[in-house]
Amino acid sequence: MLTLLTAPATASVSLTDAKAWLRVDTTADDALIPALVRECELNWEAWTGLPMLVATYSDHTRRGFYGEWSPARQPVVSVVSVSLVDAETGAAAAMDGADWRLVPTPGGHVVEFDAGSIAGDEYALVTWTAGYSAVQPLHKAWLLRTLANRYRFRGDDPEGRGAATDTAADWLRQSMARSVIA
């Protein structure tokens, strides 16, 4: 199960930048706006699998696994640790770096395990950091657009218009297609 261990240290968009984008001059919504930014960040990550900023995650392989395992969040910055866990007892022991390696591929990084390094009643628990040191321009553009939509319809929204925003993945594909065509 994918677990977020350490969230990004800062928001992808500051309160000042968000208020400027939303054209908000008062302090009345200073608590609401960061919450909406965080909601947008979580939606982006859920829809695309890409974190906005660097965060630390853990996940595990299936029992008796060997070969390649792809972290659910890319781009991988580093692998913090790989532990071998006994499925019956839950006891964990750190795996030697000789039993696994981080390998870049065109689709992102994978963790390669040596054949036979994980037995039938064991699985590997991998902890890694992933994300970007700065918010990517297309990611930020989607976030600000979605933030504006969420903020605009924050009150009464009987028709569900606030939920009508394109998913991050759809918007990113459309934006990239437009930039290739242009």
Q: Please report the pLDDT score of residue 24 as a whole number.
A: 92
Q: Please report the pLDDT score of residue 30 as a whole number.
A: 92
Q: Please report the pLDDT score of residue 144 as a whole number.
A: 92
Residues 111, 117, 123, 127, CA torsion sign: negative
Residue 34 CB contacts under 8 Å (≥ 6 apart), including other chains: 11, 15, 18
pTM: 0.70
**At residue 164, does pLDDT exceed 60?**
no
Q: Please report the pLDDT score of residue 22 as a whole number.
A: 94
Structure tokens at 179: 């930039």
Residues in the chain: 182
What are 17-58's pLDDT values in tens digits? 999 999 999 998 999 999 899 888 888 888 887 888 898 988
Give the Cβ contact number of residue 8 at 10 Å: 18
Q: Identify the residue with better confidence: 106 or 144.
A: 144
Determine the Cα–Cα distance for residues 76 and 62; give it in Å rounded to an integer.
20
